[in-house]
Structures are given as structure tokens and as C-alpha cells.
């Protein structure tokens, strides 16, 4: 049942195109756009009349992913909407005809199961690249289904990654310095951290399929692209610095224990030995890094094939240690340590641990004598401490039954240069500290303390992600990852704990604290314990470090490539490219460059805490991801691994954070700053990804909680700010008509509070769905361009009037609802053929008043400043005619917070009548502004009661005549078109134009009549004198007595107020004015528009303000 549908056009005769003609059966371009926003043909045809002769597609599918979704990029599903394998199939059965229209998005269960069975999830790792190298021409290897089990696929890789350089080179020194008890505390802390992290990781890894990318994939899909990118890059840096550490370990073993004579820099003096060693590490480390990078570049398959060899080296070395421990019970190895008093000596330059020896009955001095005296003679001047103390030999490996364990229980921390001493042995003082540094004593090369040792040790427990990184190669990843990882951590923890105890129980304390084995002729300290030979450990650890370094250089570039290909960090996209077979060449170069930084640091002890920080941060976020998902109880959180709990995850997270600051507080801060910077960069510049992550769920829960709390009570006046619903108009191409409205919103809001940008499309949602999506996308683009932070809401309604009403009523959610409406003044309302446009405007004014919402109407909004403009010295004039709750005072203050209006001064004008005391009004207003903490100039304008002018009557008459004619002229669209043709052809006097002499421009009204309607109207008006005669209407003869006196008074107010405002504020950058309310009698709506037009005439930028019926500003604190 793998069929799918194809388009089958039907001709006029009802014939069906044959199956062999399917290639030509796709419907071409759809008919011209009918408002469906470019949908495919046939989708809008349900309620439309169709051409009976047209070719009608029975069914047409568009396989474009997410075409009808929410417009957010989704992850590709391997099962649904993935029809690449179904291309040739067709569905022609009748059994499932009921579901045939859903088969493109919802496949048959049989088809789904078939895809599920064939689904593979191989990692984009070395295996694919190896196969790509071997491919020849079009011939491809068949993809093998993953076959690795828990042991080979998870347990051994984790074991190999966890055990490594620190165990062989530093663990004995840590035990000697910290003592057995504190060493166990260090091991316990670090192993507990990784075990808790492994539990959290197991839960995430078993919650669905985990593709390649390991921890990066898990964190990014659980906590979002910002956290995922930040922690992914931290994990990448940690893996890269781990490569540096392994290479430094390799070179340290090579130059210190295998071929010391290969050193290029040789110290002439003892005090220069440390610098010489570091320089040798830098030179050889750089060469080794270059060699390893070439190996990785040339063929990753060789690295993978050698992985088992490297693992065998690690296991053999550990077995050699345990064998050596057992042997010490019966026969301890002979590694004497030479002591002078209680001080340990480096025995590289002498063979015999004596001051003098008797040869042929003659007492002669030894090489040791010559190191402390100025000559070989018995009477030579010697160091005081050398003279006063005896030379003794102690066994470096006294054995498990010697009781040395009690001496190694406690710590022996000390500063740089402190000599390694046996406190149990008495000595006579007398040495010169200044001279002691030139003598062959074993000393501390760094200052030691507990937290430093934690940072140095922690890298030895990393590597727990090795199993999850190979999830694609596992037969059953959801079973193998938890079992293999937890068993590997348990095994290595037991190894570390037993090693700490056994090292402390077998090896003398002074030898344990001898980091480089100088007291045992430069032998590796852990090698002295091993059986059958120290070389087993030396060679094994050398190859182990080599292999770990190669694997770091192999894994890190792939991790960077995965991050780059996700597209969440734009500047990293170049590192997503590589060779033809997918090998990440550019990522390898960057990795080698960063790795070189670690090589130049040159000290293993300095590099280890750096990578500890990055790994700890990664583990911290793995625990956080598990805890967040568990607490949110998201429906998709259904891990197969059941032995997890959010408390364990939080404990693991806290432990990671504590270890970061315990190890190195300054490195911890640097790592967190790096992660924070990456997070903010991805947030502002990165590609938007929707991965269904936990942070989105957390935000949703927090928003829900806040909204519920917010709805309990309306905001106090002190907290009131305009939460704006912006009503936008779109043009015929769904573009934003007035983008400056959005600029003004940004300047008014400055990113604070709620902004909802709304638009209404006329029609039904079924036919306008695609158009609505496109409109929403265009509005969002305009909001982004104008830096308007808010939400977009496009409503499809049967008419604009209802749509705006729905927006005003229902926009917002709970307590986050708008309290103000911002819209543009309908500037072309007089020229509009459709009176519904200005009626919609007036009804919107009424709706906002009824909803107790403030209304802001911007006139000439296209002349408002952009966000890039900087207005110079000028004013924002407020004309405070009636009290509106303080909106007129608050808005200029908010505007002046924005850099566009910052230099503008605020002026407040109020109007005084004849019986008002204007001087007292000015004083009171100044005091009121003082209490409001607003800086503004105050001016009281007196308006005297003048007689109504002839001009006022003239304007009123023209307004009423126009209103009357609009009522009488309810012409259909076809009649108006016929009239226009008559005007053009005949141009007779009966098709006249009323030209308003008093006002030009917007006041010109075009009205045309047909001859029949003219005669009919004249006859009707001769019989009834209730209305103005048409003859007088065309001749413009005023009859003032018949005018509505209320209209005359309103027109008088509009004209006089306009004169005053224009006189005072014509040069202002912005004028804010009280907006009069619409008439209660709807019959005078068109007159209301005329009043407003007269009131605003001659002003450039005007903002009409109508209060919402509540106080929005207060004098109280």
C-alpha cells in the first residue's frame, strides 16, 4: 500500500489521461490571482463558477514541506512528508478513498512502517568518508545497517576516552601531593559528576533517535539553538584543547622517559630546566600536531583502524599496573631513592648513593660529593646541609605489606620550588635556600593546592560522550548508550579509586611527589610499579596518548562542521564545507590552529584546567536539559531510560558548577563569558530554529504563570504605559502602506510593553489563507526593518468593519491586552468611491471608546521621522483642550526618551474661555507639571466669543449639501461606470461638477448625475421642500436659515481652534491634539469627518489623542 496520488486532468469529455501520460499531466500555471495569494489551481474552486470546458484537475499535491504550516522551519521528519522514495507510486484503489485527500501529509500506516524499517541513522563520521573515498563513479556501496552492540559500540570507546594521559602521568603525583584521603575526595567528586551527567545524558539519548553530533545535538534540541550553539562550541573547544593535552602528554613521555637525548634545548643550569623542557614541548608538540593533522587529513580510516590498537595499549598498561601491585606483596621491585637528610635527590648524575667510598683501602669521593662540594678532594668546601646530614637509601616501592599507606594518607602541599622531603626522617638544618635551587634536589615545579589538583585531574574522567557520539552505529542505541556509558564510568571509577589506594599503599611518599621520576633515574613513576617492565607502561601510555590526540583531531572538526551546517552561527558557515567526500578540511585547519595555542602553553598542568572548564560547562547543560524537560513534563519527554530524576540532574548541575569554580574561578568566568557571548550572538544574529526545545517550553510556562498573575488586577496608574494595537493598511500587493506608523510605534514604545500590529483582510479564511500568511510575513518584515518589537495578527473577516472590531475586542491575551489603538488618518476619504472607508474609521473610534481604550490617530503619517532621523531643536506642542486622563502629557514624555525626539522641547497650550482667569490657569498648570516632574513651557490661549462668520456658514452649507447628495446617490458600480462614459462622450451641463470655491484640494467634491436621475430629483423636490433644491445645490446659493445650528456651532469651533493652532504650532515637529468624539447620531458621521478635516487643516504632523477613560499619569510617587 505504498501508493500516492498524481494529478489526473479531465478533459471536457470526461476522458482520463492514461497512466503513461502522467509526465504531462501536471497542471500548469493557475488562473490569474483571485485573492488566494497564489495558491495552486483547484484550491479555491469550491464556491466559484468554473468553466465547463476547462481542464479540471481531480487532485493536485504540493510536496513543498511546511507550505501550509506556521511558517517556521521545522526539522525534517524521516517518516512524514518525506516522499522521495514514493515518487513512482500512484494510488488508484477504492478501499481507502475516504482518506485519499489526506495521503500527501498523512501516509498510510503500511507506508509509514515501511519507511521506519528502512530508516538508518549513520553518523556523518569517518565511516561515510571512508566509503566515499572508496566509491568509484556512480557505483555506490550499499549502506549496511548498524550492527555494533553495547560492548563494542559504547563500553570500549568510553573506556578508551576516559582512561588516558592523566592516569599515567599525573595520578601518582596527585596521590602523593593530596594524600590518599583527599585524592579519594577528588576522584569521588569528579566521578560523581560524570555519573550524574551520564544518567541525565541517558535520559536524553533514549528520548528518541539521537543523530550524529552527540552532546551538541542533545543540548541544542533540548535547550534551543542559543544554548546548543554556545555549549556546542564550548564542547568543541574542550575537545580541541584535549587534543593539545594529549599531544603534550605524548611529547612529555617521549622526551622525559623514552629518548631524553632528543631534546633540542638543554639547560646549562638547573634553574633553567623548566624553561628548557617547555621550549622542547613547544617545538616537538608543534611538529607532532602537524603530523597528526596530516594523518587525519589524508585518511581518517587509518585512525579508526588503529583505535583498537590504542585501546589494547591502555588495557595492557592497566593490567601491568595491577600485576605489579600483586608482585610487590611477594617481591618488591628494586628502585632505591637517594635521600640527603630528609631531602630527595635527583640521581640522574650519580650512580652511587654515598658521599665517599673505599677503593683499595683508599677513601675517595663519589660523583655525589662533587655535586655538593667545590672539588673532589676530601678537604674541599661543601654545602653545610651536605656536611651535616647523612646520605641514605630508601626503597621507592616498599610494597603493599610495608605499611607505607599510613604515611601517604595526608596531603603535602607546597609552593613552587619547595623540596620534596620525608617529614618522618630527622635532618639537621644549615642549607642556604638561595643556593639550594642549584643543587640536585627534587622540588615542586608548580605551587600545589587542592583546587589545582581537581582541575588537573578532571580531564581523566571526561570522554563519557563517546557512546552517544556513535549512536548511529549502534544496533539499539536506546538500550546500549545508558548501559554502556554507565558501566564504563563505573569501571573507570573503580580503576581510579583502586589506583589511588594501591599507589598510596605501595609507593614511598617522596617518590609519589616526584612528578618526573628524577629520583629513580628518570623512570616513569607508575612504570616503576608495573610488571614485567617499566617499558610496558611507557610504551603503552605513549601510544594511548597518540591515539587520543588523533581521535580529538578527528572528532573536533566534525563537531564544528555539525554546528556550522546547522546554520545557527552565521560566521562559522565556511567551516561546514570540506573535501568532496565531506571531510571537514576548513574545520580541521581551525582545530589545528586552536590546538597550537594549547601546545604553546606547553604545560600539561596549565592546559588541563582549561579543557576541564569547557567539559564541565557542557556537562552542566546536559544536566540542565534533563532537569528542565523533566520538570516541564513536555508531552514528547518519554525516555526509555527510567532511572533518572530531576533532583539528580540538579545535583549534577550544581556539582559541575562547583567544580568549575573549585578548579579555577578565573577560567570558569572566562568560559562562562565566552559561552554567554556566543549565546547572545546566536540570539541576535543566528538563524531562527524551532527544535521544540525545553527553553521554549520553560518560557511558555513562565509566560502562562505571569499572565495568570497579571490578570488578577488592572495595572496601577504608576505602571500604566501604552500597550498599543497598531491598525495597519496594506496595498494590493500585501505590502505595508504606512511603514512610518511602525517607526512611530518604535519611537513611542522603545521596546517596552506590548505592541500588536493588526491587519484585516476582507473575505473568508478558506480562500484568503495564503494571502493572510503572506500579509503576516510582510508585516513581520516591515516590523523588523523598523525595529518594532511585538506581535503580528492578521484577521480575515467578511468585512473590514467586523474585522477591526474583532481585533479591538480580542487582540492580546489575559492581562497582556492592548489599552491603546494607533491608526493612520484616512487622508483620501473624500476621494474614495466607497463611503465605507470613512465609516469604518468612525466605527473604530466608537469601538475604542466603548472598550475604554485610548485612540491615537496620526495625520500625514508618511511625513513622520524614521528611526534614523535626528530631529534638531524644535518643539512637540500639546493642545490640551479637554482632560483625557493625562495621555497628552505622557505621550510627549515617552517620545522624548527616544533619540529621534530627544532634542525636542515640550510646549503645552490650553484654551481659556471668556470667563476663565488665564493668569491663574497658567500658574495652576505650571504647578501641575511641576508635580508631574515634566519639563514643559506653558501657554494659555484665549478664545473670545466671536460672531459666527460668513465663511463658517459657507463651509457648513457645503458640508450639508455634500452630505445630502451622498445620501441620495446610492449608485451601483455599473451605474457609476456608465455615468463616467457619458461624461466623457457628451460632456453636457447635466453632468456637472460641484467645485467648492472656499476650499481647494481635499475640499473639492466630484459628483455626477445621469439626466434621468436629475429630472426625477428635480420633480421630487418641487413637490417636497424638506431638502435643499438641486438647482440651488448646483448654483451654490447658500440658504443659511435652513442650516442645522449644531453643525454651524461645531464648524465655528473647528475653524477658530484651527486658526489658533496653526498660528502657534505650524512650525512644531509634532502637534498633539484632543480628538473630539463622534456624534451619537450616526446620521452626522460624514459631518464629523468634515469637522476633523477643518480642525487639522494646515498642520503637517498631527497626532489626535482620545483618552481611554482612566487616569494614566499621577503626581504621587
Q: By the 8 A CB rule, do 687 and 565 touch?
A: no
pLDDT of residue 98: 53
Q: Which residue in this structure is represented by grid cell 457619458?
A: 982
Angle made by CA atoms 584, 587, 589, in degrees to the nearest 5? 110
* Grid coordinates of 556: 573536533
Strands 362-365 and 791-797, bridge-based pairing: unpaired
**pLDDT, tens digit, for every residue of 862-912?**
889 988 888 888 899 998 888 777 788 888 888 888 888 888 999 988 887
Q: Most distant CA pair in the chain: distance in Å?
A: 161
Supply the DSSP symbol for 853.
-
Q: Which residue in this structure is represented by grid cell 607505607?
A: 404
Positive or negative torsion for Cα 271, 275, 278, 280: negative
DSSP E strand stretches across 244-367? 336-340, 343-344, 356-359, 362-365
Distance CA 820, CA 694 (A): 34
Residue 349: name the closest of 517, 521, 515 by CA.
521
Distance CA 418, CA 442 (A): 9
Strand partners, 831: none
Cα end-to-end distance, the chain, whole Å: 73
Question: H or E stretch including 455?
Answer: helix 450-457
DSSP E strand stretches across 153-306? none
Residue 791: name the closest of 742, 838, 826 by CA.
742
Distance CA 240, CA 554 (A): 10
Q: Which residue in this structure is represented by grid cell 475586542?
A: 809
Distance CA 74, CA 90 (A): 27
Q: By the 8 A CB rule, do 339 and 510 touch?
A: yes
pLDDT of residue 602: 87
3-state secondary structure 984-1020: HHCCCCCCCCCCCCCCCHHHCCCCCCCHHHHHHHHHH
Distance CA 1099, CA 860 (A): 9
C-alpha R_g of the chain: 43
3-state secondary structure (DSSP) of residue 383: coil
pLDDT of residue 978: 56
Ramachandran region, residue 625 (left: φ > 0; alpha: ψ -120 to 50; beta: rest): alpha
Supply the DSSP symbol for 13.
T
Question: H or E stretch including 939?
Answer: strand 937-942
pLDDT of residue 25: 39
* Grid coordinates of 737: 502602506
3-state secondary structure 574-612: HHHCCCCCCCCHHHHHHHHHHHHHHHHHCCHHHHHHHHH
* Grid coordinates of 562: 555539525
Strand partners, 9: 57
3-state secondary structure (DSSP) of residue 673: helix
Burial class (CB in 10 A: 0-12, 13-18, 19+), 974: exposed
Q: By the 8 A CB rule, do 384 and 432 touch?
A: yes
Q: By the 8 A CB rule, do 161 and 462 touch?
A: yes
* Grid coordinates of 1053: 469651533
What residue ranges of the chain have pLDDT lower than 50? 1-92, 118-143, 970-974, 984, 986-1011, 1013-1015, 1017-1038
Burial class (CB in 10 A: 0-12, 13-18, 19+), 1070: buried
3-state secondary structure (DSSP) of residue 660: helix
pTM given for the model? 0.68
3-state secondary structure (DSSP) of residue 1053: helix
Q: By the 8 A CB rule, do 1109 and 884 touch?
A: no
* Grid coordinates of 91: 494510488
Distance CA 152, CA 113 (A): 29
Positive or negative torsion for Cα 249, 255, 257, 259: positive
Distance CA 90, CA 101 (A): 13
Burial class (CB in 10 A: 0-12, 13-18, 19+), 634: buried
Distance CA 587, CA 564 (A): 9
* Grid coordinates of 625: 536539559
**pLDDT, tens digit, for every residue of 430-477?**
666 777 777 888 888 889 999 999 999 999 998 888 777 776 677 887
Tell me if the bond preceding 380 is cis, omega within 30° of 0: no
Q: By the 8 A CB rule, do 192 and 493 touch?
A: no
Q: What are the φ and ψ backbone dihedral angles of 105, each rounded to 5 degrees?
A: -100, -25
pLDDT of residue 1034: 38
Q: By the 8 A CB rule, do 172 and 439 touch?
A: no
Burial class (CB in 10 A: 0-12, 13-18, 19+), 854: buried
Q: By the 8 A CB rule, do 564 and 587 touch?
A: yes
Amino acid at each position: 500500500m505504498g501508493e500516492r496520488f498524481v494529478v489526473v486532468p479531465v478533459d471536457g469529455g470526461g476522458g482520463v489521461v492514461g497512466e503513461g501520460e502522467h509526465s504531462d499531466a501536471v497542471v500548469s500555471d493557475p488562473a490569474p490571482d483571485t485573492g488566494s495569494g497564489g495558491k495552486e489551481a483547484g484550491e479555491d474552486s469550491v464556491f466559484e463558477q468554473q468553466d465547463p470546458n476547462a481542464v479540471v484537475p481531480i487532485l493536485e499535491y504540493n510536496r513543498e514541506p511546511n507550505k501550509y504550516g506556521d511558517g517556521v522551519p521545522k526539522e525534517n521528519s524521516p517518516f512524514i512528508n518525506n516522499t522521495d522514495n514514493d515518487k513512482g507510486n500512484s494510488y488508484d484503489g477504492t478501499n481507502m478513498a475516504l482518506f485519499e485527500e489526506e495521503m500527501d501529509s498523512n501516509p498510510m500506516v503500511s507506508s509509514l512502517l515501511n519507511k521506519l524499517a528502512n530508516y538508518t541513522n549513520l553518523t556523518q563520521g569517518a565511516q561515510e568518508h571512508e566509503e566515499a573515498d572508496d566509491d568509484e563513479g556512480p557505483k555506490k556501496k550499499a549502506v549496511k545497517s548498524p550492527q555494533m552492540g553495547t560492548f563494542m559500540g559504547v563500553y570500549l570507546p568510553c573506556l578508551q576516552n576516559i582512561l588516558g594521559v592523566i592516569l599515567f602521568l599525573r595520578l601518582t603525583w596527585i596521590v602523593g601531593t593530596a594524600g590518599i584521603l583527599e585524592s579519594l575526595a577528588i576522584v569521588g567528586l569528579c566521578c560523581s559528576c560524570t555519573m550524574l551527567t551520564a544518567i541525565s545524558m541517558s535520559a536524553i539519548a533514549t528520548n528518541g533517535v539521537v543523530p550524529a553530533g552527540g552532546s551538541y545535538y542533545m543540548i541544542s534540541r533540548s535547550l534551543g539553538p542559543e544554548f546548543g550553539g554556545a555549549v556546542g562550541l564550548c564542547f568543541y573547544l574542550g575537545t580541541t584543547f584535549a587534543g593539545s593535552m594529549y599531544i603534550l602528554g605524548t611529547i612529555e613521555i617521549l622526551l622525559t622517559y623514552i629518548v631524553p637525548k632528543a631534546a633540542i634545548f638543554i639547560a646549562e643550569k638547573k634553574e633553567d630546566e623548566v624553561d628548557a623542557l617547555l621550549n622542547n614541548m613547544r617545538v616537538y608538540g608543534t611538529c607532532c600536531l602537524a603530523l597528526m593533522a596530516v594523518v587525519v587529513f589524508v585518511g581518517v580510516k587509518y585512525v579508526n583502524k588503529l583505535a583498537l590498537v590504542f585501546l589494547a595499549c591502555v588495557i595492557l598498561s592497566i593490567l601491568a599496573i595491577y600485576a605489579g601491585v600483586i608482585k610487590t606483596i611477594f617481591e618488591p621491585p628494586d628502585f632505591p631513592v637517594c635521600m640527603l637528610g630528609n631531602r630527595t635527590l635527583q640521581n640522574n648524575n650519580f650512580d652511587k648513593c654515598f658521599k665517599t667510598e673505599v677503593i683499595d683501602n683508599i677513601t675517595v669521593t663519589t660523583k655525589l660529593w662533587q655535586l655538593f662540594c667545590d672539588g673532589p678532594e676530601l678537604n674541599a668546601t661543601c654545602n653545610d646541609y651536605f656536611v651535616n646530614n647523612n646520605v641514605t637509601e630508601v626503597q621507592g616501592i616498599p610494597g603493599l605489606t610495608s605499611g607505607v599507606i599510613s604515611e601517604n594518607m595526608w596531603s603535602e602541599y607546597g609552593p613552587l620550588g619547595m623540596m620534596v622531603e620525608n617529614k618522618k626522617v630527622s635532618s639537621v638544618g644549615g642549607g642556604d635556600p638561595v643556593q639550594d635551587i642549584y643543587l640536585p634536589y627534587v622540588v615542586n615545579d608548580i605551587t600545589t593546592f587542592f583546587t589545582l589538583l581537581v582541575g588537573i585531574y578532571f580531564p581523566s574522567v571526561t570522554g563519557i560522550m563517546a557512546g552517544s557520539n556513535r549512536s548511529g552505529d549502534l544496533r539499539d542505541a536506546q538500550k546500549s548508550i545508558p548501559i554502556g556509558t554507565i558501566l564504563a564510568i563505573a569501571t573507570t571509577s573503580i580503576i581510579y579509586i583502586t589506583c589511588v589506594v594501591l599507589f598510596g599503599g605501595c609507593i614511598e611518599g617522596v617518590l609519589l611527589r616526584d612528578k618526573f621520576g628524577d629520583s629513580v633515574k628518570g623512570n616513569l613513576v607508575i612504570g616503576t610499579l608495573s610488571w614485567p617492565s617499566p617499558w610496558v607502561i611507557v610504551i603503552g601510555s605513549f601510544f594511548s596518548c597518540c591515539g587520543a590526540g588523533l581521535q580529538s583531531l578527528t572528532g573536533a572538526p566534525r563537531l564544528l562542521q555539525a554546528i556550522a551546517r546547522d546554520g545557527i552561527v552565521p560566521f562559522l558557515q565556511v567551516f561546514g564545507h570540506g573535501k568532496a567526500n565531506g571531510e571537514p578540511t576548513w574545520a580541521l585547519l581551525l582545530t589545528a590552529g586552536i590546538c597550537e595555542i594549547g601546545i604553546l602553553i606547553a604545560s600539561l598542568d596549565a592546559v588541563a584546567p582549561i579543557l576541564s572548564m569547557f567539559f564541565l560547562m557542557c556537562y552542566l547543560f546536559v544536566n540542565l536539559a534533563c532537569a528542565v524537560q523533566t520538570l516541564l513534563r513536555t508531552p514528547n519527554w518519554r525516555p526509555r531510560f527510567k532511572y533518572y530524576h530531576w533532583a539528580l540532574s540538579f545535583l549534577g548541575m550544581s556539582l559541575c558548577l562547583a567544580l568549575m569554580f573549585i578548579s579555577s574561578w578565573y577560567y570558569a568566568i572566562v568560559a562562562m563569558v565566552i559561552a554567554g557571548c556566543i549565546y547572545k550572538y546566536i540570539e541576535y544574529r543566528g538563524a531562527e530554529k524551532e527544535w521544540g526545545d525545553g527553553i521554549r517550553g520553560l518560557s511558555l510556562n513562565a509566560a502562562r504563570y505571569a499572565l495568570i498573575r497579571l490578570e488578577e488586577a488592572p495595572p496601577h496608574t504608576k505602571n500604566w504605559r501604552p500597550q498599543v494595537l497598531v491598525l495597519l493598511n496594506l496595498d494590493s500587493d500585501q505590502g505595508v502602506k504606512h511603514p512610518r506608523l511602525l517607526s512611530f510605534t518604535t519611537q513611542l514604545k522603545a521596546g517596552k510593553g506590548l505592541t500588536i500590529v493588526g491587519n484585516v483582510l476582507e473575505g473568508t479564511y478558506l480562500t484568503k489563507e495564503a494571502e493572510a500568511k503572506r500579509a503576516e510575513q510582510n508585516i513581520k518584515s516591515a516590523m523588523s526593518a523598523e525595529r518594532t518589537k511585538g506581535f503580528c495578527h492578521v484577521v480575515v473577516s467578511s468585512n473590514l468593519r467586523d474585522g477591526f472590531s474583532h481585533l479591538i475586542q480580542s487582540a492580546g491575551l489575559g492581562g497582556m491586552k492592548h489599552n491603546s489603538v494607533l491608526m493612520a488618518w484616512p487622508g483620501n476619504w473624500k476621494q474614495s468611491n466607497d463611503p465605507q472607508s470613512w465609516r469604518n474609521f468612525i466605527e473604530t473610534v466608537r469601538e475604542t471608546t466603548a472598550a475604554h481604550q485610548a485612540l491615537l490617530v496620526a495625520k500625514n503619517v508618511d511625513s513622520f521621522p524614521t528611526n534614523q532621523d535626528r530631529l534638531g531643536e524644535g518643539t512637540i506642542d500639546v493642545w490640551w483642550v479637554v482632560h483625557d486622563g493625562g495621555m497628552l502629557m505622557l505621550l510627549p514624555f515617552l517620545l522624548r526618551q527616544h533619540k529621534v525626539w530627544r532634542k525636542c522641547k515640550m510646549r503645552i497650550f490650553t484654551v481659556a474661555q471668556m470667563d476663565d482667569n488665564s493668569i491663574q490657569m497658567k500658574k495652576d498648570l505650571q504647578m501641575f507639571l511641576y508635580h508631574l516632574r515634566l519639563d514643559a513651557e506653558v501657554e494659555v490661549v484665549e478664545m473670545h466669543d466671536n460672531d459666527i462668520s460668513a465663511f463658517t456658514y459657507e463651509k457648513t452649507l457645503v458640508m450639508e449639501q455634500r452630505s445630502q447628495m451622498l445620501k441620495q446617490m446610492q449608485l451601483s458600480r455599473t451605474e457609476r461606470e456608465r455615468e463616467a462614459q457619458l461624461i466623457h462622450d457628451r460632456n453636457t451641463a447635466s453632468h456637472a461638477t460641484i467645485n467648492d470655491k472656499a476650499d481647494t484640494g481635499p475640499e473639492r467634491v466630484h459628483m455626477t448625475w445621469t439626466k434621468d436621475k436629475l429630472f426625477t430629483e428635480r420633480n421630487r423636490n418641487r413637490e417636497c421642500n424638506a431638502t435643499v433644491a438641486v438647482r440651488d445645490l448646483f448654483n451654490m446659493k447658500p440658504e443659511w436659515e435652513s442650516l442645522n445650528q449644531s453643525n454651524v456651532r461645531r464648524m465655528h469651533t473647528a475653524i477658530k481652534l484651527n486658526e489658533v493652532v496653526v498660528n502657534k504650532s505650524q512650525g512644531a515637529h509634532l502637534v498633539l491634539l484632543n480628538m473630539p468624539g463622534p456624534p451619537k447620531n450616526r446620521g452626522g458621521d460624514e459631518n464629523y469627518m468634515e469637522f476633523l478635516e477643518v480642525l487639522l487643516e494646515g498642520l503637517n504632523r498631527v497626532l489626535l489623542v482620545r483618552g481611554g477613560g482612566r487616569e494614566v499619569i499621577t503626581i504621587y510617587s
